[in-house]
Amino acid sequence: MTVQSTQGTIKTNIIDKIAFLEFYHPSSNSFPSTLLQELVLEINQISSNNTVAVVVLQSHGDGAFCAGASFDELLAIDNIKAGTAFFSGFANVINAMRKCSKIIVGRVHGKAVGGGVGLASACDYVFATQNAAIKLSELEIGIGPFVIEPIVSKKIGKTAMSVLSLSANQWKSATWALEKGLYSNVFESVEEMDLELNAFCLNLAKYNPEALVELKKVFWENTSHWDDLLIERAKISGNLVLSAFTKNALNKLKKV
């Protein structure tokens, strides 16, 4: 299935019980709110699809995996309600991934920034390449990684999360992400990664689907309050994005 919009594309291709869920946006696979909404709907649909055993979350192309939030849309936010609604988009995606009945395997072929790090963290298992450096650059534009903090901290720990968020202008290597537990495997090339990823997913698809469902519940224990928590975090970002600091920072970055 393909869901297309003027602001990007969501595409799902099911092969051998594996749903390859791909997102695309011309601006380094960043996310406007419409694309976030479409991704939530697609994840929910896959979750109830009995022909699917495992999901691969991937992005299009050979550049960035995901550049996070759309700068253009961030600049257009002019009130707290709109700001909260926009950041709630990432909250809704993370919660959809959390509630999805299928194991989600991440395929991170390139750099991940901000919300892109959140998406990778919300996967149950992640394959990546050496090009898949990560950065939480939110402080540089006057906000913070509030919405994605719970899932990133869950994956790599609070200490590593603090290092990543406070080093807002520094890339952390794929090896660093592997050592901290964000990535499960890191490969030299996309070809090597895809070979291992496909074999891994084909093997997963052979397991008892009921066992996989129950195991996923174990992975996400003690997160039922995230429906409320992530929306509260979205309100913090929604307020901060209105600041003069953030507007000036976004305009400068847009001109670069």
For a pLDDT cut of 70, what percent of the chain falls above it?
96
Question: Three-class SS of residue 16?
Answer: coil
Residue 187 host element (H or E): strand 185-187
The rounded distance, in Å, linking the Cα atoms of 17 and 127 is: 19
Q: Which residue has the higher pLDDT, 6 or 43?
A: 43
Better-predicted residue by pLDDT, 247 or 131: 131
What secondary structure does DSSP assign to 209-248, as a single string? Answer: HHHHHHHHHHHTTT-TTHHHHHHHHHHHHHHHTTSHHHHH
Helix (H) or strand (E) holding 118: helix 115-121
Residue 69: predicted pLDDT: 87
Per-position b or e across 5-29, b if 16+ CB within 10 A of its CB: eebbbbbbebeebbbbbbbebeebb
Mean pLDDT of 136-140: 94
Q: Measured between alpha carbons, how far is 176 from 25 in angstroms, rounded to an integer?
A: 27
pLDDT over 50 (residue 6): yes
* Residue 203 scores a pLDDT above 60: yes
Give percent of the chain with pLDDT exceeding 90. Answer: 88
Out of 3.40.50.720, 1.10.630.10, 3.30.300.130, 3.90.226.10, select the CATH number for domain 2-204: 3.90.226.10
The pLDDT tens digits for 53-98 are 999 999 999 999 999 988 888 888 989 999 999 999 999 999 999 9
pLDDT at 4: 45
pTM of the model: 0.94
Q: What share of the chain is helix, strand, coil (3-state, %, to 5)?
A: 50, 20, 30
